[in-house]
Structure 1
Amino acid sequence: MSTMKPWLTVAEAAVLVKRHPRKVYAWIENGTLKARRSADGKYEVSSTDALRVESVTKRGRPAGTASHNSSSIE
């Protein structure tokens, strides 16, 4: 039986929650996800917190936001 590690690197957390590591860093920067520094200076996040944050975070682009490749209709 496999058990989840209590603390994960950003890369491991990103795999766990199926998001890009930049998203995990964004959650840390905006205070949504708390992190600590490991002995080698890398961010670590709680695996349970990462799952909690991902479960309450909407996916996709905010409503009313155009994509980069959308063309204007005139």
Structure 2
Amino acid sequence: MKNLVIDLLIKMAKADVQTKELTAQVEAILSAPVASAEILSSAADLLLAHFDRLISVSHFVEENADNNLAHH
């Protein structure tokens, strides 16, 4: 009887560990789209900021070129 109880406790402990591992895997799977969306959003924000800087530089160059031509 003692061995049966010990065996049952071991099986319950294994089942508990497997349940926790499965729960962790499911949580990782469910959080992946959120993390991916955040990464894509951050990348898009960086890209837009870079384009904004490029446009600002080109406007600055155009304005200064016009001013320099007007003075000469």
Same fold (TM over 0.5): no
**Greater share of helix residues, 1 or 2?**
2
**Which protein has greater RCO, CA pairs closer than 8 Å, 6+ apart?**
1
Which range, TM-score by smaller chain?
A: under 0.3
| TM-score with structure 2 setting the length | 0.24
